[in-house]
Amino acid sequence: MKINLVAAAPADITVDALAVPIATGQRLSGAAVDLDRALGGLISELLGSGEFKGRIHEVMPVPTNGRIAARRLILYGLGAINDLDGQRLRSAHHELVRAARTYGYSRIGLMRVDPLSTDSLRAVVEGCVMGTFERRSRQTGSQPERGELDELILTGFGQGRDHEVVLAQEAGEATNRAREWQNAPGNELTPDALAQEASKIAKRHGLEIEVLGPSELRAGGYNLLLGVAAGSTQPPHMIRLRHRGRELAGKAADANAPVLALVGKGITFDTGGISLKEPPSMSQMKADMAGAAAVLAAIDVIAARKVPLDVMAVVATTENMVGPAAQRPGDVVVSADGKTVEILNTDAEGRLVLADALTHALRNGATHLLDLATLTGAATIAIGHGASAAVSNNDEFWLLVEEAARRAGDRVWRLPIFADYRVLLRSQIADLRNSEYGEAGAILGGMFIGEFARGKPWAHLDIAASSWNTNAELTTVLRGPSGAGTRLCIELAELMARTER
């Protein structure tokens, strides 16, 4: 899709449809008044009659009858201004583009009027790009429900901002790439296939890559990952990509320079193991690698931008299957960093593979750790699909993560780590137990992973609910795969690079 910034008056843009944002209860102002006048008062009539209310995701195409260059006008709603955060702003433009494609519009113009500001440019572009995503990529012989959007023309956002448009398009496309990986069936996106995707990224940017197979994992003592993998015929992998951004920027070697590790859970299919899941929800477990998808899509962009920070993406990937060699509830396993873990629930496998992944990141020089994982159903119960649940051991690092989330329009909500909770991780026969039935489930899952951070600044994002919305009531949260965390990771690397300067 081509995206162009122009200085032309909205009425003069020759497109299939010209999109005009309207917030609930908004009065026309600025360029919208001039456009309304050119249309003979059409917009003010539709608002005054209540036919268009400006509700979020409300989209209304109307004929222009040749009064302006665009063949159609699209009014699209932003909802209440007070509710318009970055996530809802992107969601509104996601749905605008999906609707435009349904109507067969291949070239649309979009004018900036209140409440959009010039600072909304990146959110608008990212949302529009995300609206080009489709989940039906494996259907054959059927007519597509929506056409392709070939060109997006933006007016009113100012000139000389083409680079910002490029950055926003990269972030939107990376989010869609993560969504596509999430949506891939488990028989296609195996651990080997995920490693191949990582290899493509490394080749594209000349990144350092390491892919550990079963023998290397055994040699490194990554027994938690191997234990989860034991029931599957698919070999597990520990994948590490390294972007040496400081070196590319010509910075002097510095042993104290930060190294950010983006660590993703890569369970390409999760049956729950012997602690088997309920069948109705199991088909969605192809997306249990959403954390891996986010960090791989993010480092692809980080490397393309040559962000002047050392960043690694670490992915622990395997299937969690039932088989004659599968680990059992009650087993005790020695982790890569030497802690012993009692396995009470084989369906609490994400924290196990991430524990070994954090150790691998630390062994390779990570100073700051952010892990992303579809970890717990408890996160859905706690805060629903509208945000990612989070815990962190470091307030300063958390502020960076929180700011990155705000800039990315990717909501996070930090949960507390109280000392009282540590007792719930204790085992009678090992250093830790991997599960506790009862209270604070999302917190405890994160705290378990944090036990392997070795005191380094660390944050954990539980994207179990935010990465795939199954709740039809939550219309402002993307349905199906969302690519949660992808843009956040990109923004975090950018923020840390600026801070490190």
CATH for 261: 3.40.630.10
Q: Determine the angle formed by the axes of helices 441-450 and 350-363, rounding to 10 degrees.
A: 30
Say if residue 294 is in the same domain as residue 424.
yes
Q: DSSP states of 376-422 as a string?
A: -HHHHHHHGGGSEEEEES-HHHHHHHHHHHHHHT--EEEPP--GGGG
Average pLDDT over residues 447-452: 98
Say if residue 148 is in the same domain as residue 222.
no
Is the peptide bond between 115 and the residue preceding it cis, with omega within 30 degrees of 0?
yes
Give dist(CA 344, CA 327) in Å, integer: 10
Mean pLDDT (the chain, rounded):
95
Asked if 471 and 464 touch (Cβ cutoff 8 Å), the reply is: no
Give dist(CA 172, CA 124) in Å, integer: 10
* Domain limits for position 147: 2-160
Per cent of the chain over pLDDT 70 is: 98
Say if residue 401 is in the same domain as residue 364.
yes
Q: Which residues lie closer than 8 Å to 175 by C-beta, 6 or more apart?
A: 126, 129, 130, 297, 482, 483, 486, 487
Q: Shortest CA distance to 87 belongs to which of 408, 465, 473?
A: 408
Average pLDDT over residues 373-388: 95
**Biggest CA pair distance of the chain:** 79
Asked whether residue 166 is domain-assigned, the answer is no
- Read off the pTM: 0.97
Residue type at 99 in one-letter notation = A
Give dist(CA 435, CA 444) in Å, integer: 8
> Helix H segments across 184-322?
191-205, 214-220, 223-229, 245-248, 279-282, 290-305
Pairing of strands 151-155, 208-212: unpaired
At 139 the pLDDT is 76
Pairing of strands 72-79, 59-63: antiparallel
Give dist(CA 234, CA 182) in Å, integer: 18
Say if residue 103 is in the same domain as residue 235.
no
Give dist(CA 91, CA 21) in Å, integer: 13
pLDDT in tens, 150-178: 999 999 999 999 999 999 999 999 999 99
Q: Which residues lie closer than 8 Å to 247 by C-beta, 6 or more apart?
A: none
Asked whether residue 175 is domain-assigned, the answer is no
Asked whether residue 375 is domain-assigned, the answer is yes
Q: Shortest CA distance to 270 belongs to which of 284, 249, 250?
A: 284
Tell me, yes or no, if 426 is annotated catalytic.
no
Give the CA-trace dihedral at 169, 174, 176, 180, to 10 degrees.
150
Say if residue 424 is in the same domain as residue 365.
yes
The label of the residue with tokens 């962000």 reads 307
The H or E element spanning position 325 is: none
Say if residue 223 is in the same domain as residue 141.
no
Pairing of strands 432-433, 237-244: unpaired
The one catalytic residue in 277, 339, 406, 479 is 277
Residue 153, domain CATH: 3.40.220.10
Say if residue 93 is in the same domain as residue 150.
yes
At 438 the pLDDT is 77
Give dist(CA 46, CA 57) in Å, integer: 17
Backbone φ/ψ region at 57: left (φ over 0), alpha (ψ -120 to 50), beta:
left
Asked whether residue 306 is domain-assigned, the answer is yes
pLDDT in tens, 459-499: 999 999 999 988 877 766 777 899 999 999 999 999 999 98
Last residue of a domain, one of 99, 131, 160: 160
Asked whether residue 174 is domain-assigned, the answer is no
Assign 3-state DSSP to the chain and report helix, strand, coil percentages, each to 5. Answer: 40, 20, 40
Tell me, yes or no, if 339 is annotated catalytic.
no
Per cent of the chain over pLDDT 90 is: 92
Say if residue 490 is in the same domain as residue 367.
yes
Residue type at 465 in one-letter notation = A
Q: Shortest CA distance to 68 belongs to which of 4, 7, 17, 3?
A: 17
Number of domains in the chain: 2
pLDDT in tens, 90-148: 999 999 999 999 999 999 999 999 999 999 999 999 999 999 998 876 777 766 778 99
pLDDT in tens, 287-326: 999 999 999 999 999 999 999 999 999 999 999 999 999 9
Asked whether residue 57 is domain-assigned, the answer is yes
Say if residue 106 is in the same domain as residue 188.
no
Residue type at 419 in one-letter notation = A
CA 338 from centre of chain = 32
Asked if 186 and 314 touch (Cβ cutoff 8 Å), the reply is: no
Asked whether residue 176 is domain-assigned, the answer is no
Average pLDDT over residues 375-392: 95
Asked whether residue 221 is domain-assigned, the answer is yes
Say if residue 92 is in the same domain as residue 225.
no
The three-state secondary structure class of 124 is helix
Say if residue 9 is in the same domain as residue 67.
yes
Q: Shortest CA distance to 291 belongs to which of 344, 341, 349, 207?
A: 349
Say if residue 66 is in the same domain as residue 215.
no
Q: Which value, in Å, is the radius of gyration of the alpha carbons in the chain? A: 24
The one catalytic residue in 351, 407, 411, 487 is 351
